[in-house]
Amino acid sequence: MGRVLVADDDPIFCEIVVEELEDAGHLVTTVHDGDAVLRAIDVTVPDVLVLDCAMPGQNGVQIIKALAAAPSAPRIVVVTSRRNPAYLGQLERLGADAVMVKPLMHGDLSDMVAGFLG
């Protein structure tokens, strides 16, 4: 079991992801804007951050850059609807541990999180 922070401004997507991850035994917290991601991580660093890139406040690229400079940071799984290979590669070069393109198949995200937690 791990601690997972889900950051996405789409409440339906969050509900689906939370249900999948909780069913897999994880403790899940959600935030809905980029600024809230960094505030939440200042309080408790999760094991894994599931991060949407297009949110109000700081975007995913800004968050990844901020976490790359942090002394301790979670594993980052970016979930995006953008399919541009150059953009997806940029996310990984900046420090995302994995990039997944929406829509996700049921079980893919929980498998990815489980892989990070060993």
* Percent of the chain topping pLDDT 90: 92
Contact 48, 74 (CB under 8 A): yes
pTM score, whole prediction = 0.95
Cα(88)–Cα(69) distance, rounded to whole angstroms? 20
Structure tokens, 4: 């997972």
Determine contact, residues 81/101, Cβ cutoff 8 Å. yes
Other Cβ atoms closer than 10 A to 118: 5
What is the pLDDT, as a whole number, of residue 70? 84
pLDDT tens for each residue of 84-99: 999 999 999 999 999 9
Domains in the chain with CATH codes:
1-52 (3.40.50.2300)
Pairing of strands 3-7, 98-101: unpaired
The structure tokens listed for 73 are 């940071």
CA angle 84–10–99, rounded 5-degree value = 35
Q: What is the pLDDT of residues 48-61, one digit of tens each?
A: 999 999 999 999 99
pLDDT at 23 over 90: yes
Q: What does the pLDDT read at residue 87?
A: 93
